[in-house]
């Protein structure tokens, strides 16, 4: 019997902390049902692309479809290396390929567009996430016109930003200043929440209990 690992706990905590992105999740759910599509999610660092792909992976598993997650930071920048890592999707019509940190293998974009992706089975779904928008040639190509969906990921809505702080148990008096400082940027909010909780814990240790 294999020993249990920390992965389930880590994933559960990440899912609990995930807020917002209703439109993006709805778009993925629709694509999951129809297949035959490439979703290209782009946005600046820390905006929540990896967290969103994590939720996509969860929904794929719940739909009993095969999911393959690749991280561009861990891949060699060559068609052969990518094909070795992702080749299994070529034989699975229900497969979902999620590619994170695509900016690290951005030089493969033309090869993916022209050779790898056209060879996928009809029902497969691909999501690419990176800091750089897709090349304009994709959107100008009539062949990709109805198969490519580009999503620019922005800041969280104010209510979602507040919900993120609530999920991190940020004290009430610290929430408003942090929301003003970080806006809706998920990474800034998360780092600010961690700092606020650390300061709160330190102050509670320094403050003598009331008698």
Q: What is the pLDDT along the chain (211 residues), one digit of tens a residue?
A: 657 787 777 777 777 778 889 999 999 999 999 878 999 999 999 999 999 999 999 999 999 999 999 999 999 999 999 999 998 899 999 999 999 999 999 999 999 999 999 999 999 999 999 999 999 988 889 989 889 999 999 999 999 988 888 888 887 777 788 888 888 898 998 888 888 776 655 454 444 444 4
* Number of compact structural domains in the chain: 2
Per the CB < 8 A criterion, the answer to whether 200 and 165 are in contact is no
CATH no. for residue 65?
3.40.50.300
The answer to whether position 211 is within a domain reads no
Q: Would the pTM count as exceeding 0.75?
A: yes
DSSP symbols for 112-154? IIIIIGGGS-TT-EEEEEESSPPPHHHHH-TTTTTTEEEEE--
Q: How far is CA 189 from CA 52, 94, 166, 206, in A?
A: 16, 36, 11, 26
Same domain, 143 and 89: yes
The answer to whether position 118 is within a domain reads yes
Same domain, 53 and 22: yes
Looking at residue 210, its pLDDT comes to 47
The answer to whether position 4 is within a domain reads no
The region, left, alpha or beta by phi > 0 then psi within -120 to 50, assigned to residue 175 is alpha
Domain termination site, one of 109, 126, 152: 152
Same domain, 71 and 139: yes
Looking at residue 206, its pLDDT comes to 46
Same domain, 43 and 129: yes
**Owning domain of residue 29:** 9-152
Looking at residue 2, its pLDDT comes to 59
Per the CB < 8 A criterion, the answer to whether 47 and 155 are in contact is yes
* Residue closest to 138 by CA, chosen among 166, 171, 102, 104: 102
Same domain, 179 and 99: no
Same domain, 111 and 179: no
The answer to whether position 3 is within a domain reads no
Same domain, 148 and 162: no
């Amino acid at each position: 019997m294999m020993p249990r690992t920390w992965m389930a706990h880590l994933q559960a905590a990440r899912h609990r902390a995930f807020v917002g992105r209703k439109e993006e999740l709805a778009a993925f759910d629709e694509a999951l049902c129809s297949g035959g599509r490439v979703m290209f999610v782009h946005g600046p660092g820390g905006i929540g692309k990896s967290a969103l792909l994590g939720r996509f992976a969860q929904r794929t598993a719940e739909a009993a479809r095969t999911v393959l997650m690749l991280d561009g930071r861990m891949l060699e920048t060559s068609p052969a290396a990518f094909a070795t890592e992702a080749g299994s999707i070529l034989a699975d019509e229900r497969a979902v390929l999620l590619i994170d940190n695509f900016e690290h293998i951005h030089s493969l974009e033309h090869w993916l567009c022209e050779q790898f992706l056209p060879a996928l089975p009809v029902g497969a779904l691909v999501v690419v996430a990176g800091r750089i928008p897709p090349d304009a040639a994709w959107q100008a190509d009539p062949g990709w016109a109805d198969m490519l969906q580009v999503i620019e990921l922005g800041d969280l809505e104010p209510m979602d930003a507040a919900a993120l702080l609530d999920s991190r148990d940020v004290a009430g008096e610290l929430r408003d200043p942090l929301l003003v400082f970080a806006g809706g940027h998920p990474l800034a909010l998360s780092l600010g929440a961690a700092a606020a909780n650390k300061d709160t814990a330190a102050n509670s240790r320094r403050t003598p209990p009331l008698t």
